[in-house]
Amino acid sequence: MSAIRVLVGTKKGAFIFTADGMRQHWTISGPHFAGWEIYHLKGSPTDPNRIYASQSSGWFGQVIQRSDDGGKTWTQPGGEKQPDPAGSPAGQSNRFVYEGDVGTHKWYDGTQHPWEFKRIWHLEPALNDPDTVYAGAEDAAIFKSIDGGKSWRELAGLRSAKGHLWQPGAGGMAAHTILLDPKNPNRIYTAISAAGAFRTDDGGLSWKAINHGLKSNYELPDPDADVGHCVHRMALHPSRPDVLFMQKHWDVLRSDNAGEQWTDVSGNLPSDFGFPIDVHAHEPETIYVVPITSDSLHYPPEGKLRVYRSRTGGNEWEPLVKGLPQQDCYVNVLRDAMAVDTLDSCGVYFGTTGGQVYCSADGGDSWNAIARDLPPVYSVEVQTLP
């Protein structure tokens, strides 16, 4: 029977949970990199022992860590082996190289601001090579490494997609979503706050905005602008990579043509504002979101923590509440803090800003907390192990 490894990034370190295929009894290791912000951990789909971690600190900046033994030990690629859970000393950071002139970008208020490298929000290992990995940065850029994280080069063509008009969302101008098309190795999707969704069909040399149908009446001077939209998260099912789902700053949407056109599928949700969105591992039309009250009230409507599931690809939604707190709950679920596993009975996982991590071993019908007192959760990812 396959085992499960849940990778959790938090405000104060990383935690790794493991269980057998029943997903009832969990062991925990961590905190790895105690005291550091771990924005994202992601395991390689081709090597169950390979994990990448985005480690950040106000003192030492951004570091990429890598484990080749399932998280038991960690190495900073290109630097020295680091003891765990201690962090990385100053001067040992990985090498990120901008391909073009970093230059400046213009916000919608007309002022000029320099492109800056602050942190890595998202790591996406390649589907066929554990040494190839993509990184989404703030300020918005996509980097690629082909040597296991030792060196990184920017896919600079992304900024040619009207980058001078991009502007930061409330959390910064971050490339926070990277989706790799399993049927077309040259196609990559990304989402940036607050710029929108973008696609490349040539491996990252050139990019186009794919925001037709998005409406941002409260955020943009021009509500029909093709860039400047605050996309929170995108997801796809590997069997149908041309069908995309999106949680936006207001609106849940889908596209059936690789992002060329988007349609609102918020339907009967209690709020169409939220951050994460994900797709069932075996049912391409089953999607999950976690609504929160509004862009100023980052907690569940009525103080009830509810995951909503649509089995029809949107529009018709049902609340999933069994095992979740239904009163006085004021946590949030961030954009990278939801994931699914690939077992026969699809498991769904999410973490909260209150430090809880929930697991459903039955596709969302019922939930159990596998952790209750972690630091605020930034990300949740899952590896299915042999």
Q: What is the pLDDT of residues 52-83, one digit of tens each?
A: 999 998 777 899 999 999 999 999 997 654 44
Average confidence score pLDDT of the chain: 92
- What the block records as the tokens of 219 is 């955020």
Is the pLDDT score of 209 beyond 70?
A: yes
Distance CA 311, CA 281 (A): 12
Greater model confidence, 66 or 118:
66
Which of helix, strand or coil describes residue 163?
helix
Share of the chain above pLDDT 70, in %: 93
Confidence of residue 84 (pLDDT cuts 50, 70, 90): very low
pLDDT at 170: 84
pLDDT at 101: 59
Is the pLDDT score of 92 beyond 70?
A: no
pLDDT at 95: 78
pLDDT at 97: 78
Query: 96 has which bridge partners?
Result: 152
Query: pLDDT tens, 148-183?
Result: 999 999 999 999 999 988 988 888 899 999 999 999
Share of the chain above pLDDT 90, in %: 80
